[in-house]
Copies of this chain bind each other. A is one copy, B any other.
Amino acid sequence: MTMTDKEKNTAVLRASKSFDVRFSEVDSMQVVWHGSYALYFEDAREAFGAKYDLGYMLISDNGYFAPLVDLSYQFRRPVTYGQKCRIDIFYRPTAAAKIIFDYEIRDEETDELLTTGRSVQVFMDKNYNLVLYDPPFYAEWKKRWLGTDNQLELL
């Protein structure tokens, strides 16, 4: 499920964050516990949100939640305590009322690909009803960052 070159080219919006592996994130096998990756992915979304103004606060202030509905990881190489890593997050345009991100974790020094993943978020209003069309603030956000004549394909 690695992104193709075509997909990477369409991911015009991307952000990165460097991080050190915490002691608490490593398990008794001396490698990062798989559950810890949720934190790295979350940090990546925060970095993306800060860079492109699409954070939890904005979503919440506009009256919505954006819960994760799909989340997947491919752990290609173990990550160890003390390793310097970088996570890259790629926004995947979609016509659906969703926020889709791809992720890549790499060794900061060698650039070796360690982990990939994807998350899909939908929108719910404050009554926990699923929203089938882009909320107005998200439609504006898309227009601002992706352009009005952007050709989007349903994923």
Q: Show the binding face of A for B, using Cβ within 8 Å.
A: 20, 22-24, 26-31, 33-35, 38-39, 42-43, 46, 56-57, 65, 67-76, 78, 81-82, 128
* In contact, B75 and A72 (Cβ under 8 angstroms): no
A21, chain B: closest CB distance, angstroms: 10
Chain B residues with CB below 8 A from A42, complex form? 22-24, 35
Question: How many Å lie between the Cα of A23 and that of B69 in the bound state?
Answer: 17
* In contact, B71 and A34 (Cβ under 8 angstroms): yes
* In contact, A38 and B24 (Cβ under 8 angstroms): yes
Question: How many Å lie between the Cα of A70 and that of B34 in the bound state?
Answer: 10
Which of B20, B26, B33, B43 meets A46, CB within 8 Å?
B20
A–B pairs, 27, beta carbons within 8 Å: A20-B46, A22-B39, A23-B42, A23-B46, A23-B56, A24-B27, A24-B33, A24-B35, A24-B42, A27-B27, A27-B28, A28-B28, A28-B81, A31-B67, A34-B38, A34-B67, A35-B42, A38-B38, A56-B81, A67-B75, A67-B78, A69-B74, A70-B73, A70-B75, A71-B75, A72-B72, A78-B128
